Structure 1
């Protein structure tokens, strides 16, 4: 896995103070993408066990409420187990919430075993490609009206999309 940025204390993505990882690599190529540079799988730095340790130490800070995973496309981080391993550690060692943004829909993720495995560790999924024709800057945590804020835990349990209405 490659990544572009880690934000130790992020207050712009998700509620409260969170630690954020921006992975690189995305094949969606959404028109108007706000992270165009992160679409290349060759962009950024190589993930390492040392970085994983540092990231986990950030998340363990008592001021950090949870984790955000953005990109690029997190659900395309299936060429190795780096993202899955990181999220597994976040869950086991901190119990803090994980929010993940994906251009894939919940249904598409559920139909792919590797993506579903990553989703199994996520608390909140913001799904759907960014659509410039549906852009709405007043939306919380998403860029276009087609994107949904989903309770990933309930949705996986019930095998249907359960939206989070109040965020």
Structure 2
């Protein structure tokens, strides 16, 4: 008698423009963590937005998959982030979640203000469950957000490919992409400080 194979759960795979921020985002944030060392290079301020539909098995921030987890994004929080970024030792902002690219109202408001205040002297990183190729087929708001960030860690977390030794990534399928170089060349260019 053959053993029944256990079905392995995998993250969800959206069609292009299926998950629209205008329809999904409740503009909530799961948390804000100023001056940390784990969400990218250097000292960073990290904004965790709420809401993600990828539902990656093994997600380390499962609570933030709920679009109403945490508290509403406010101008006061945005002001605090802008003030925190003014510290000389703070290298930049990191957007995580949840899924930043289905929370573009929040992320673009903050990113635009950072660019207005600091131009490109503060770098902006973002994690996303989307792959680069998927984002290239996405809505204008997602492409606008992508165009204003420096580094993108792309791809869903895949539990069978989990590797805790990787730099700034949880699974080996994910990439650390230099967004501006990739947009200018039309090809994915990996971050030049990649160690592993």
TM norm structure 2: 0.81
The structure number with the bigger radius of gyration is: 2
- Write the deviation string for residues 33-52 of structure 1: whole angstroms up to 9, x where unpaired: 00000000011110011111
Could you tell me which residue of structure 2 aligns to residue 103 of structure 1? 129
Could you tell me which residue of structure 1 aligns to residue 49 of structure 2? 23
Could you tell me which residue of structure 1 aligns to residue 186 of structure 2? 159
Count of residues in Structure 1 that have an aligned counterpart in Structure 2: 165
The question of whether the paired residues in 1 share the 8 Å contact of 2:95 and 2:107 is answered with no
Could you tell me which residue of structure 1 aligns to residue 103 of structure 2? 77
Compute the displacement of 1:63 (Å): 1.6
Which of 38, 42, 55 aligns to 2:64? It is 38
Which of 119, 133, 141 aligns to 1:114? It is 141
- Write the deviation string for residues 104-130 of structure 1: whole angstroms up to 9, x where unpaired: 011111211221111011100000000
Q: Which runs of 4+ in 1 moved over 4 A?
A: none
Q: 1: CA distance between counterparts of 2:68 and 2:113?
A: 25
Which of 109, 127, 130 aligns to 2:154? It is 127
Could you tell me which residue of structure 1 aligns to residue 172 of structure 2? 145
Q: Which runs of 5+ in 2 are unaligned?
A: 1-26
TM norm structure 1: 0.95
Q: Which runs of 5+ in 1 are unaligned?
A: none
Q: 2: CA distance between counterparts of 1:158 and 1:147?
A: 20
Which of 42, 58, 71 aligns to 2:84? It is 58
* Coordinate RMSD, CA, aligned: 1.0
> Helix, strand or coil for the counterpart of 2:54?
coil
Compute the displacement of 1:165 (Å): 4.4
Q: 2: CA distance between counterparts of 1:165 and 1:120?
A: 19
- Establish whether residue 93 from structure 1 lines up as the match of residue 117 from structure 2: yes
- Write the deviation string for residues 8-61 of structure 1: whole angstroms up to 9, x where unpaired: 111111111111101110000001000000000011110011111111111111
